[in-house]
Structure 1
């Protein structure tokens, strides 16, 4: 069907059935947003086992001829009654620009220390970078060369600050443009800047995250549907499609809003939060200190009068 992609269940996983995912999307996620704010999806019958066999044969051929992403190599389509038709957010014309990013935690974790100098997402990034640092520097064989340093990720709080802070806007735009061929003189660049300054979509996502999680992972119950929804909202993807034609509107939509196996994940979420607190990542106390682009960290380094608070 034009404008839609077929999503099929992967064999050998414990994921929810597509009919369960669709019901959750319709009853828990969709009411939070307008239809224009979400990548649309609907169930479709896959038919009999012959259809699934044809799909698997097509995957085998594709893998043999052009290869597949590493985490999909060798995977098969499960024998299931339903798949999904999902709205295609790729380019509609060759010169369209499509930006894809994960907004992540758009507000601080309720469990973070009151004096935290990093947001939850940047504290988590610092912990990942620290692990890489220690792994690299404790490997002494020639077979394992140190990996080149990667740039810190963009702070999620900067997305919301674009409407009030020219510095935050510059950071977001520069980050996006560095991954795209998007000249500053183009109308698409101008429209991206305008969308970042005026959109209400990301603030609605933040409000939905905070409204459904007042206590954070450490005080959450695996059976609390509101906390479960908050964690789903923290793992979604945002697509922004900027058409080549100036008379076509910019489209911004959320996707990847699947129901999660919260009982299986709660222990991981709680362990991660405990690590960030106990090991000092919220305060930047890890040794050596990892550089991040956190908006909170930038404020903590300067009290407004240029005086350095801590390093």
Structure 2
């Protein structure tokens, strides 16, 4: 169904109060906070929040407003993927912003010490006119397993030198490690080459890298769950489709001539999304669910100079070609391929 029709047939939802609701903080990013809302028995809100979480904007962040983000998602993102591969989202008007956000901030305050240090002290925008209902990809039953990862750049940067030995992600990790060696040394093993995601079906090294990165910790890493994740990594069609969408909307890279800002904006949005996996308790009778989320429109007018500056630094510093001094250790699929051709 076309996005415009979807909007017209969905009447606007409104939230007037969270009185008597249980509110649980779920997570956050730089610009948004996510909460689980459990209404009291027989509340009319039950039908609204059943299977959905509430996302709200943070105060003092410079991002697009929620109606603009929703419109972009419906008109630009939805046509690229089957609806079954997208975490569904919908606007909800906050009819009493101050009272609703006050309750959310109270719930946030109870977990303040557990938040990321750089996020502590931030809160919900008190004047927020809209929130967003986002599909809850957490476990549905006790035996389900929910996982999340960022696919990142699934193809080399179009601006990278032809002799590159690193993809854009691995080049950036080399730069970060060069600038902050003590910090990034401890995190190196947690950031594999994203190109490995596309080679799990025929490369044992790629599969091992991604299993180590995505697989759940004990005691959740049961044989059946690991088998399900392995099978998905080796056979999914979503990540190749995401890769093709990234490539289709960025032919030149941020330094290319005749750059199309809106196309680059979409490509960078697709390179920063999250992938949610839900492995059902009765796998393989029920398949693994895989859905993309965090597909908010980038502000390319403000981001372009940053994207261009970073690309120049990666090129001029030799990070794409592994010529930086001192040489940083990465495990890029491109470098492994080049080495195998020499051996």
**Is the structural similarity TM-score above 0.5?**
yes
Give 3-state SS (helix, strand or coil) of 2:102's partner: helix
Counterpart Cα distance in 1 of 2:161 and 2:295: 29
1:254-303 deviation line (CA, Å, top 9, x unaligned): 01000111111111111111011111001111122111110011122232
Taking structure 1 as the reference length, the TM-score comes to 0.87
Summarize the Cα distance change of 1:220–1:55 in structure 2 as closer, same or farther, 3 Å threshold.
farther
**Unaligned ranges ≥5, structure 1:** 137-145, 307-311
Q: CA deviation at 1:174?
A: 3.0
Give 3-state SS (helix, strand or coil) of 1:98's partner: strand
- Residue 256 (str. 1) matches residue 294 (str. 2): yes
| Equivalent residue runs for 1:259-270 within 5 Å | 259-270=297-308
Q: What is the RMSD of the two structures over their aligned residues, measured on CA atoms?
A: 2.1
Taking structure 2 as the reference length, the TM-score comes to 0.79
Residue aligning to 2:202: 164
- Residue 71 (str. 1) matches residue 118 (str. 2): yes
| Equivalent residue runs for 1:153-192 within 5 Å | 153-177=191-215, 179=217, 181-183=219-221, 186-192=223-229
Q: CA deviation at 1:76?
A: 2.4
| Equivalent residue runs for 1:67-216 within 5 Å | 67-78=114-125, 79-133=127-181, 136=182, 149-152=186-189, 153-177=191-215, 179=217, 181-183=219-221, 186-216=223-253
1:119-157 deviation line (CA, Å, top 9, x unaligned): 111011111111112xx5xxxxxxxxx886443421111
Q: Give the conservation status (yes or no) of the 8 Å contact 2:252–2:259.
A: no
Give 3-state SS (helix, strand or coil) of 2:306's partner: helix
Structure with greater proportional strand content? 2
Q: CA deviation at 1:166?
A: 2.7
- Residue 287 (str. 1) matches residue 325 (str. 2): yes
